[in-house]
Structure 1
Amino acid sequence: MALHAQVRTRDGWAVQHAVVTVTDMTGTQVLRADAGPDGVVSSATPLAPGPYTVVVTAVGYAPAARTALVGAGGRAELGAVVLARAGGVELPPPGAWTLDPAHSSVGAVAQHLGISSVHGRFTEFAGRIGIAPDIVSSRVEAVIAAASIDTGNALRDKHLKSPDFLDAEAYPEIVYRSHGLTPAGPDRWTVHGTLSLHGISRDVDLDLSYLGTGPDPWGGTRAAFRATAELRRDDFAMHYNQVVQAGISAIGTTLRVELDVQAVQGDGLPAAL
């Protein structure tokens, strides 16, 4: 293929029916191609060597432009082209929102043997988001059952629940409560909060992306968010490790936390929250 690109949103979803327009340095259009349902744009039309301007557009998204330099092979490989929603997205209405565990995930990733990753998730959690009229005054709190860790391996999960790691019997709940919010873009914020884990409380920031609000099939309104953070196990007194060879530990000292959250408008939390 002479032209190839993958058009995606910032959170990784394909942008269907995006249009890629290629112009030469005189401003003459030399190529136009549409993305398919998977966001992939490809064209077999060869391009003469030289520089080109590539503009990617899609309804509801801000256009993206970049320069492509085509070599003797006549190929323009654009890779992933990320489109931002036009004007950001409309913020959720103020009020109480309840996390929907059935359509949310709380995961963590750790490096294993220095060459791969182990993915885990917590299967029991609840949370509440309070959207304030002044968005930076909004708050979030969440409680996770430590014993609900699931990595797909029963022996590993048992070890993770033990005093070497989560010590789920002594510290059954992992709690996060925010105390501030800083804008980081049209639909992005840094959430400042306190994480209580393994009997220790420390300030932890979340990088939060707001994905939008809309009606659901059950007559409610829901909002979607994605958030990430990095934690050091040593900060929470989880020092266990096994060195398998010089300089390489069985389990990495840093965890990447990945949250995909849907929240339903209204306050339907259990009494414990």
Structure 2
Amino acid sequence: MNAVPPAETHQLTGVWQIAPHSEVSFTLRHLMARVRGSFTSFGGTITVGDDPTRSSVRAEIDTASVDTRNADRDKHLRSADYFDTDTHPTAHFESVTVRVQDNGGYRVEGFMTIRGESRPVTLDLVLLGVAEDPWGGTRAGFRASTRISRSDFGVTGNVPLPGGRALIGDSVGIALEIEAVRQQ
């Protein structure tokens, strides 16, 4: 997918609210396959400066909203073995730096906090476009991805398997499909 060239991002200047029908999803290894899941409750603000490198992102995820389409697994993910949602009901991301890439995309560097543990994370981001919506507003589309080590955030629950393997992999792919609405 082609990114919108940085020269055309001037129409993005302003404050944008992440729309609730956006998507925050993840994948990780479970036995010999990949498991996919998402979070159904999240929000955030994207502030875009005249110079895209002066932009910022703040986002929050309700960790109890985890959904892997398996109620028993989701209940276990909410437990102290994983997200510990009673003690840590939210995960956060706050950007520190935005860099324009040669391919027209962006690298958004910041800190992610899960279970009270903050670690640096870099999102590879693509601006998908900006358009007027049928209700008189303006919307922007973004796609971003990153990969984290869940154990870096204290999410260490697992089941050992023969041969030194584990039931669940440590590497987690995170994918964001964001629609944002310009605030007045």
Q: Place the TM-score, normalised by the shorter chain, in its bin.
A: over 0.9
Task: Please tell me the residue identity of whatever aligns with 1:196.
Answer: T
The yes-or-no answer on 1:141 pairing with 2:58 is yes
Contact 1:233 1:255 in 2 (8 A): yes
How do 1:37-48 and structure 2 match up within 5 A?
none
Structure 1 CA distance, aligned partners of 2:110 and 2:167? 30
Question: Aligned Cα RMSD in Å?
Answer: 1.6
Task: Please tell me the residue identity of whatever aligns with 2:92.
Answer: V
Structure 2 CA distance, aligned partners of 1:145 and 1:175? 9
**Count, aligned residues:** 183
* Bigger relative CO (Cα 8 Å, ≥ 6 apart): 2
Shift of 1:93: 2.6
- 1:97 counterpart (3, 16, 29): 16
Amino-acid identity (%): 37
How do 1:81-96 and structure 2 match up within 5 A?
84=2, 90-91=8-9, 92-96=11-15
Q: Which has the larger radius of gyration?
A: 1
TM-score, normalised with respect to structure 1:
0.64
Other-structure match for 1:246: 163
Other-structure match for 1:190: 107
Shift of 1:216: 1.2
Shift of 1:87: 5.6
Shift of 1:187: 2.9
Contact 2:4 2:104 in 1 (8 A): no
Structure 2 CA distance, aligned partners of 1:109 and 1:158? 17
Contact 1:90 1:212 in 2 (8 A): no
Other-structure match for 1:118: 35
Structure 2 CA distance, aligned partners of 1:169 and 1:146? 9
| Compared CA separation, residues 85 and 128, structure 1 to 2 (3 A) | closer
TM-score, normalised with respect to structure 2:
0.94
Gaps of 5+ in 1: 1-9, 11-83, 268-273
- 1:173 counterpart (76, 80, 90): 90
Structure 1 CA distance, aligned partners of 2:163 and 2:80? 26
Gaps of 5+ in 2: none
Structure 2 CA distance, aligned partners of 1:96 and 1:111? 37
Contact 1:89 1:212 in 2 (8 A): no
Structure 1 CA distance, aligned partners of 2:6 and 2:98? 18
Higher helix share: 2
